[in-house]
Amino acid sequence: MSLPELDDQSLPRAIGESQSLPVLVMFVSQWCNTCAEMLPRLETLADESEKPLKAFQIDFDSNIDAAVAQRVMMVPTLIVFRHGAAVEKLTGSHPPEKLALLIRKHA
């Protein structure tokens, strides 16, 4: 399953959903090999999470306003939102174990 895609307009709504459960948003780009490596890891972990959460992807190049608003400087960047605010941000490549720990920590 592919993560649902957000854009500049839908990101604030998704962040609003973090009032009741964690929302994970990965900023990616089509040219980014590391993004292509990380997305399936996040998809699998989100699908296998024992606790409810929402996970999305957003294209960095097409959604500059969202990237600027969230202070995203590089891809991939994974941001965890809780209660309407960013609570953790990871950049670059990370092993599945670190992503799983991040999900457990905030779920």
Q: Which residues are catalytic?
A: 32, 35
Residue 88: what are its φ and ψ, rounded to 5°? Answer: -160, 145
Contacts of 8 (CB under 8 A, 6+ apart): 63, 64, 65, 66
Report how far residue 35's alpha carbon sits from residue 26's, in angstroms, rounded to the nearest whole number. 9
Report how far residue 65's alpha carbon sits from residue 62's, in angstroms, rounded to the nearest whole number. 9
